[in-house]
Structure 1
Amino acid sequence: MQLEFYKYQGTGNDFVMIDNRSEFFPKENTKLIAHLCDRRFGIGGDGLILLENDPETDFKMVYYNSDGNQSSMCGNGGRCLVAFAKKLQVIENNATFIATDGLHHATIGDDGLVSLQMIDVAEVKVSSDHVFLNTGSPHHVQLVDDLEKYNIKENGAAIRYGNLYGKAGSNINFVKQINDSTFSLRTYERGVEDETLSCGTGATAVAIAMNVLGKTEASSINLNVEGGKLVVSFEKKEGQFSKVFLKGPAEFVFKGSIEI
């Protein structure tokens, strides 16, 4: 069987996209999904995303990590899926879709940037050396001195598999402040089990965490990731974060087919 696919990337976070509105894709075949995401033997990607029909919204997002397992929300993947939906003419420049963490709204600007509304955040746990919060996926946020030389894979894995987060683990973000409203971050992603060039839910978590820690008073925060730049904006009231938006590029890379 020939599988038609599309490849998208958002600040270097790359995804295999499949139009599954006809529900042909074998969704329980984790080995196949992992194979398609394999950079040497398959297509290559940080994850695989199915675009499916939904009776109440424009479409449904079904996201898999590169290990083949269905996972929690992916912010950059959501933005790329919105761009994919436009390419398929499912939407024009506005979208409402359902994902594993609930309902999302998104817009595509004249500049091609996709702005995706993330879930509200009501609980942020502050510890002595890190912050933990859920932005659709669980995120550990930690400031480090020498971000450029920091061993993300080794230190990220140690925390991800350590005693803090149990069997489920967490995504791990290491952060450096650049100025009052700009931060650089690098992310170790569970399910990929390595550093990725960008993580949308991670960038969202970092922006909120830095506000909670008093590192910034800005409500629109610039995030430098390894694959480019993202912007996270929000409204804060009595420690609650709402109208949280993740904005950045979501670009078509290529289309192809592979035998499965």
Structure 2
Amino acid sequence: MRVPFIKMHGLGNDFVVLDARGEGLPTMTPSIAAALADRRTGIGCDQVILLEPSETADFRMRIFNSDGGEVEACGNASRAVALLHGAEASVETAGGTIRVQPANGGASVDMGVPRFGWEEIPLAYAMDTLTMPVAWEPLKNPTAVNVGNPHVVFFVENSDVVQLDRLGPEIEHDPLFPERVNVNVATVESRRRICLRVWERGAGLTRACGTGACATAVAAMRRGLVEREVEVRLPGGTLTIAWAEDGRITMTGPAAEAYRGSFEWDDFA
């Protein structure tokens, strides 16, 4: 079976998008997703995105990290999908229904309402999620936020010097996080600007993470470090995050289509 795909990215966070809204595909499995994502023997990407029909929204978006694991949300993929769809839409995800709107070569995405309860992150046991009494070497007292997927945010003097490639996987797999966790290290540069690096659960270091930007901005706002709308600068570029008084997060930023192609499904099955 020959399957078409669209290669897209948001600030360098790249995706293989499979559009099964009109014609179905064989069942996606973790092993197939990981094989497609492999940068040496597959197409190569941070996440495989599968679009399907939905009974509750305009369509459904499923997200598979490069290790094959299916996850709840991906902000950069949401903007890419909005660009591909070409119109405002409601999108069902495992993390909840979001709304996307193409805009200026990218998109704005209503990411919904963040959650802060320890059991909503989730954590293995109860604790304050605003200033967590935990540490991993120089990284200490983070904030935990669930924005459709779980994040922990560390505020540091210089995010560029943190050994995130070493500490990221250690924190991701710590027993404190029973569903693992995305790890963010952030430096507040001003009341309206944050510098951020992210270790993504199941994907590792990526050039950008939309949900990480949302989680980090909200964490900084909860601590009174920034205004209710900020720019978040990532290695791949900048996103604008706003947290409205009604509690909903809006993420705005670019997305792009790189190229289109096709593959034989049985080559990866």
TM over 0.5, shorter chain: yes
**TM-superposition CA deviations, 1:52-98 (whole Å, max 9, x none):** 12234221111111111211111111111111222xxxxx3x11121
Deviates more, 1:47-56 or 1:180-189: 47-56
Q: What residue in structure 1 maps to residue 94 of structure 2? A: 100
* TM-score between both structures, scaled by the size of structure 2: 0.87
The equivalences for 1:64-213 within 5 A come to 64-86=64-86, 92=87, 94-109=88-103, 111-123=104-116, 125-126=129-130, 127-128=132-133, 129-166=141-178, 168-192=179-203, 194-213=204-223
Q: What residue in structure 2 maps to residue 259 of structure 1? A: 264
Q: Distance in 1 between matches of 2:168 and 2:219?
A: 18
Instruction: Compute the displacement of 1:219 (Å).
Output: 1.3
Q: Distance in 1 between matches of 2:173 and 2:97?
A: 30
Preserved CA contact (<8 Å) 1:31 1:68: yes
Instruction: Compute the displacement of 1:23 (Å).
Output: 5.2
Preserved CA contact (<8 Å) 1:101 1:119: no
Match of 2:213, SS?
helix
Q: Distance in 2 between matches of 1:27 and 1:34?
A: 14
**Is 1:9 aligned to 2:23, yes or no?**
no
Q: Distance in 1 between matches of 2:159 and 2:219?
A: 17
Q: Which runs of 5+ in 1 are unaligned?
A: 87-91
Q: Distance in 2 between matches of 1:51 and 1:259?
A: 18
**2:247 equivalent among 239, 242, 248:** 242
Q: Distance in 1 between matches of 2:262 and 2:111?
A: 32
Q: What residue in structure 1 maps to residue 124 of structure 2? A: none
Preserved CA contact (<8 Å) 2:114 2:148: no
Preserved CA contact (<8 Å) 2:83 2:106: no
Instruction: Compute the displacement of 1:122 (Å).
Output: 4.3
Preserved CA contact (<8 Å) 2:115 2:147: no
Preserved CA contact (<8 Å) 1:34 1:68: yes
Q: Distance in 2 between matches of 1:40 and 1:254?
A: 18
Preserved CA contact (<8 Å) 1:141 1:206: yes
Give 2:224's aligned amino acid: G
**TM-superposition CA deviations, 1:4-51 (whole Å, max 9, x none):** 100110011111001112453233422111111111111111111111
CA change 1:214–1:39 in 2 (3 A) is same
Preserved CA contact (<8 Å) 2:146 2:215: yes
Give 1:196's aligned amino acid: T
Give 1:190's aligned amino acid: R
Q: Distance in 2 between matches of 1:71 and 1:200?
A: 14
Give 1:52's aligned amino acid: E
Instruction: Compute the displacement of 1:154 (Å).
Output: 0.5
Preserved CA contact (<8 Å) 1:197 1:225: yes
Segments ≥4 residues shifted beyond 4 Å: none
* RMSD of aligned Cα (Å): 1.5
